[in-house]
């Protein structure tokens, strides 16, 4: 059985690939933990100068596994590993994403932490938090308005309106749109280009562009506090139950 997260190093580039295609890369707690470790290890390895986040063909990431959400709503597991969100916010290496197919929930909001995003023509970006009785996460309530403006961010994060690849490019989430078969190669080429640049200059330039990391971490914490409350709400419980009923 293949690993649900596959980590490989290609010269100065680390590739973190979500590899649960039968579930469209819905993230489980062990997957979050593996991705967190891979990001943290890349940050301490001077030989690694760029990180690529990738998925399986047809699905970048369908969000968090809904079963974990339901367990959290019933007082069990956390639905999103806070350490993964911290790892994204505090990550020191440039992040490139190769997005094909579905990018749902955290599959979209993690892209707001990326420096360069390559999307397939079939990519669809959606954040149906409100429909599940929840609120945005991963500091997206801070980062999305900065990238997209309030109007676009509200439509995506609160109204849950999806974006196709070209719309996401216009909104400032995506850099390049390519054929699905070329997504990984184009993303890896960009990562190698970044890795070949003087690392000190890249790190400082990236830091200046991103602004204070502490503000991003504070927003992660604020959202997480509200998220936990919302998970135990009647709205969320009803939405999860209805979702799982449709799946059976």
Domain ranges of the chain: 5-181
DSSP characters for 118-165? EEETT-EEE--TGGGT----TTHHHHHHHHH-HHHHHHHHTS---EEH
Q: Which pTM does this prediction carry?
A: 0.94
pLDDT at 47: 97
Strands 13-18 and 5-10: antiparallel
Write the pLDDT tens digit of every residue in 76-85.
545 567 999 9
pLDDT in tens, 153-174: 999 999 999 999 999 999 999 9
5-181 sits in which CATH class? alpha beta
What is the model's pLDDT at position 239?
84
């Amino acid at each position: 059985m293949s690993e649900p997260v596959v980590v490989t190093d290609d010269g100065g580039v680390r590739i973190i690939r979500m590899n649960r295609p039968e579930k469209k890369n819905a993230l489980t707690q062990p997957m979050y933990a593996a991705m967190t470790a891979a990001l943290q290890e890349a940050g301490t390895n001077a030989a690694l100068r760029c990180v690529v986040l990738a998925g399986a063909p047809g699905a970048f990431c369908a969000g968090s596994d809904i079963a974990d959400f339901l367990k959290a709503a019933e007082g069990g597991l956390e639905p999103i590993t806070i350490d993964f969100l911290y790892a994204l916010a505090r990550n020191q290496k440039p992040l490139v994403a190769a997005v094909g197919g579905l990018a749902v929930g955290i599959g979209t909001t993690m892209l707001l932490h990326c420096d360069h995003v390559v999307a397939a023509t079939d990519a669809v970006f959606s954040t149906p938090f409100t429909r599940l009785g929840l609120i945005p996460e991963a500091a997206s309530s801070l980062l999305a308005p900065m990238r997209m403006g309030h109007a676009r961010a509200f439509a995506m994060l609160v109204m849950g309106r999806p974006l196709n690849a070209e719309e996401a490019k216009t909104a400032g989430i995506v850099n390049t749109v390519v054929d699905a078969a070329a997504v990984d190669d184009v993303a890896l080429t960009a990562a190698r280009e970044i890795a070949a640049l003087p690392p000190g200059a890249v790190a400082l330039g990236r830091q200046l562009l991103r602004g204070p990391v502490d503000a991003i971490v504070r927003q992660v914490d604020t959202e997480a506090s509200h998220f936990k409350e919302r998970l135990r709400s009647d709205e969320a419980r009803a939405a999860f139950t209805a979702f799982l009923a449709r799946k059976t």
